[in-house]
Every structure is written in C-alpha cells, then in structure tokens.
Amino acid sequence: MVVESERPPLPRGLITLITGCMFSGKTTELLRRIDGVDSGLALLFKHVIDTRYAIDAVVSHGGKSCAAIVVDGSAALLHRIPNDVSLVGVDEAHFLDNGVVAVVSELRRKGVDVVLTSLNCDSWGESFAVVDRLTQIADARIVLTASCAACGEAANRTQRTTPIIDGNMIGGAESYEPRCVRCWRPPETLHKTLRLDTPSRS
C-alpha cells in the first residue's frame, strides 16, 4: 500500500478516496473500514451497473462481502442516508455521475465520514472526470497498487484481456488483469466510440 498524501484526520466528516487499478485491494480496504464502525452507523452503496459478483452486496476480489444499497446515481444516494449514520462507503465511484461530488461534500458538512473507492484510470489509461473532482475535494487519498500479471512489478494499470463487445466494460478476472505501465497496452478499440456508451463517463 502506498499512501500518497494524507492530511491529519478530522474529528468527523472526512472524505477518504481509495484509488488504484483493478485487483489492488480497494474494496478490501473499504470493507475493512466499514467493519470498524458499529453496525447501523455505516451504510455502503454501489452502482446498479456493477453486478459482477452480487446484486445487493459489495464483494472484494478476495471474496469478502458486505450488504450494500444499490443506487442508479448520486441523487438517489443522498436520499437514502438517515441522520444517525456516521460513515458512508461508496464502492467504484467512477461509475457515478459528477453529482456525487456535491453529495459527499454535503455529507462532510453534516459530519459524516465518507470512504470511496475508484479506479485510478480506465483501460486506456485516462482518468475519470468525476474521480478528478473527488481527488480535489478529498481530505485523504490512499493509492493502492497490485502486482503486475506479466512481470510481477508494482501495477497501476488495468489491462483489458478480452475483446470489447458493444462497449461493455463491466468485468472481472475473466476480462482484466493488473499490469505495470511498461507491460500495459491500451485496447485496440477506439476509445471515443465507447465514451458515448460507458456510464462511468457521464
């Protein structure tokens, strides 16, 4: 684990962004932090598009899981949070629209801690606009790396290993593996064609 920058923790209302490539342990770290909060005081959210391992739970690549509320956008997220919650977790925040930035800012203002995970970049090595904004407002950022599937060095890129069909980028180990920047290659499919179809780009 590499901690790129971490400001001193505030009493309450801290936005923590956990980023990295696929298989870098982002969700495992999120679930560890959720586990550290009394049950009933933490809520976990995921986007409806992410059905890779379970529909209504967040599951790490290592198999650990936690029940999650499924939302189709940032507006739905804010409406589902009761007043007595002290920590909100959001898995795979790159799937969400830009409105999530205002939502987590509002939660921080209310004194609610927010922990989000996100890919550091897409299969073409480009950042997500919503993640760029979250990076700007986060109080703490944790950057995780995986082990390159080709050479074993530290990996910070996600390698697509199967053809992209109809712009569908959702997948797990059958379609992706971690790579270091030297072993990583972008897909041959044109990026701009997919931007129109990929929800994470909204």
Comparing CB distances to Zn ion, the nearer of 74 and 159 is 159
Which residues are known catalytic residues? Answer: 92
CB of 22 to Zn ion, least distance (A): 15
**Binding to Zn ion, residues 129-148 (CB under 5 A):** 148
Q: Element (H or E) spanning 135, and its range?
A: helix 129-137
180 touches Zn ion by CB under 5 A: yes
Sign (positive or negative) of CA dihedral 156, 130, 171, 18: positive
Q: What residue type is assigned to position 136 of the chain?
A: Q
183 near Zn ion, judged by CB under 5 A? yes
d(CA 16, CA 9): 10
Q: Are 115 and 66 in contact (CB under 8 A)?
A: no
Q: Of residues 150, 154, 164, 170, which one binds Zn ion by CB under 5 A?
A: 150
Please say whether the beta carbons of 17 and 118 come within 8 A: yes
Site stretch for Zn ion (CB under 5 A), options 88-96, 133-141, 151-159, 163-171? 151-159
Where on the chain is the footprint of Zn ion (CB under 5 A)? 148, 150-151, 153, 180, 183
